Amino acid sequence: MPVPQHSPSPRELDDIELIVSGALPGPLNAPGSPLTLALPAPIAEIAGRDGEVEIVDPEGLPLARVTWPTGDVTGLSSPAYGPFRRLYLTPEQTRRTYVGRTVVPVTDALTSSEITELGSLGPVLLLALVGHGTPSLSPAALLRASLLAADALPDAAVVAVPLASHDDPEADHGLGVAVVDAYAGGDPVHALASADRSDDYPEDVAAVIDRDRPALEDQGLVIFFTGLSGSGKSTLARALMDRILEQGARTVTSLDGDVVRRNLSAGLTFSKEDRETNIRRIGWVAAEISRHGGLAVCSPIAPFDATRQDVRRYVDDAGGAVFLVHVATPLEECERRDRKGLYAKARRGEIPEFTGISSPYEEPADADVRVDTTGRSIDDALGDVIEALRDAGYLDLAR
């Protein structure tokens, strides 16, 4: 009988890859360990009954089995996809191939002075720490920059290591030391001094950085409006799109709730689960737009913080930015408007789980701007959004 399958977060996949490679010890979810695996409740229930869960990559390739709940990890196969996958060696492969080199951990592009510093060390191995949340650049960009630096050195090689950040500096330092020691295997380790990042970069490395760190006005951006039904969020979103298109600086993709339901989420109901699925689909598509430097405008109700954080994570992982607009028009005003009669039906119990009536709306604490449209014209309320976007450096629109 097949065991349940689960595709974890990028951080969890990085941790599992390092455990399978022997660079980090298991198990997962040990007391006090930052190496954790969270399972959705239905999968955790089945895994608890069956005693294990199969870990798969986003494409469905089985990578490992994890006993549950003890967290012991057994590898099944190596990850097959991703840029520069050929550079991802295990500690054993690295020691066998590059024995005797000075190991240099890197998390950012090397400056000209750092390359000069390394040139005096003899043969070096640049250990590019490219796990989720660790490098200053995107993983692919750090590897491109590291390969260019290696070309500028007398004898250098590059190995990629998926050491993820766990947002715990002390724990992450300990994991980093353990991983670097595992890869060095007794060879000397050279820690770069804290560089002055205003230092010059070689021209080809600088070009990699510029491409990977576009100016804010050129960065992939998701402008996400959230608020109660009738708050004015869709109207503000459409007005903002018109203003952007009138200026002609950027193209815009609209991911409006009703349009998405017809084209992307046809067949979903209005149950809590399906509504959250609809928002996650919106977030995933918006993230892919931002990955390629595009601008997406979304305006779902999105009442739950956890789902909004999922969207933020999708966009962050794609290298884009989220600008969250809370259209904070009070329930009383939204209900007074009620052009579609939805609130009246909800009050009569004809619409179950209606946000603001029989289902909660969790106000965002991380909104970039908060707008109340009560008694205001669209242009006036839109001005608050435009001013906040300008102050944040994303768009310079006329108010």
pLDDT digits (tens, 9 = 90+) for 231-288: 999 999 999 999 999 998 789 999 986 777 787 877 787 788 888 999 999 999 999 9
C-alpha–C-alpha distance, residues 311 and 287, integer Å? 8
Q: Assess whether pLDDT exceeds 90 at residue 45.
A: yes
C-alpha–C-alpha distance, residues 50 and 3, integer Å? 7
Q: What is the reported pLDDT for 115?
A: 95
List residues bridging with 157 in a β-sheet: 125
C-alpha–C-alpha distance, residues 35 and 25, integer Å? 9
Indicate where the chain has its CATH 3.40.50.300 domain(s). Answer: 216-392
| Ordered strands of the 369-371 beta sheet | 253-255, 295-298, 221-226, 321-327, 369-371
For residues 275 and 306, the answer to whether their CB atoms sit within 8 Å is no
Nearest to 312 by CA among 226, 228, 242, 243: 226
C-alpha–C-alpha distance, residues 360 and 160, integer Å? 45
C-alpha–C-alpha distance, residues 296 and 293, integer Å? 10
CB count in 10 Å sphere of residue 123: 14
Q: What is the reported pLDDT for 198?
A: 63
Query: 1 falls in which pLDDT band (50, 70, 90)?
Result: low
* 348 phi, psi to nearest 5 deg: -85, 0
Q: Measure the CA angle with vertex 167, ends 177 and 8; round to 5°.
A: 95
Could you tell me the CA-to-CA distances from 225 to 222, 243, 382 in Å, in that order?
10, 16, 12
Query: 81 falls in which pLDDT band (50, 70, 90)?
Result: confident
Give the SS3 label for residue 325.
strand
Q: Assess whether pLDDT exceeds 80 at residue 195.
A: no
Per CATH, domain 216-392 is 3.40.50.300: yes
Q: What does the mean pLDDT of the chain come to?
A: 93
Q: Which amino acid is at 78?
A: S
Q: What is the reported pLDDT for 28?
A: 97
Q: Which amino acid is at 197?
A: R
C-alpha–C-alpha distance, residues 188 and 127, integer Å? 13
Q: Which amino acid is at 71?
A: G
Query: What is the mean predicted confidence (pLDDT) over 95-110?
Result: 96
Q: What is the reported pLDDT for 196?
A: 65
Q: Half-sphere exposure of residue 39, counting CA atoms within 13 Å on the CB side?
A: 23
Give the SS3 label for residue 129.
strand
Q: Which amino acid is at 149?
A: A
C-alpha–C-alpha distance, residues 387 and 399, integer Å? 7
Q: Measure the CA angle with vertex 46, ends 54 and 69; round to 5°.
A: 70
| Block residue for tokens 């503000």 | 236
Q: Can you give the length of the chain in residues?
A: 399
Could you tell me the CA-to-CA distances from 23 to 68, 95, 157, 164, 179 in Å, in that order?
22, 12, 19, 12, 5
Query: 16 falls in which pLDDT band (50, 70, 90)?
Result: very high
Query: 116 falls in which pLDDT band (50, 70, 90)?
Result: very high
Q: What is the pLDDT of residues 330-384, one digit of tens each?
A: 999 999 998 889 999 999 999 988 999 999 999 999 999 999 999 999 999 999 9
Per 3-state DSSP, the chain is made up of helix, strand and coil in percentages (nearest 5) of 40, 15, 45
Q: Which amino acid is at 43?
A: I
pTM over cut 0.85: no
C-alpha–C-alpha distance, residues 388 and 381, integer Å? 11
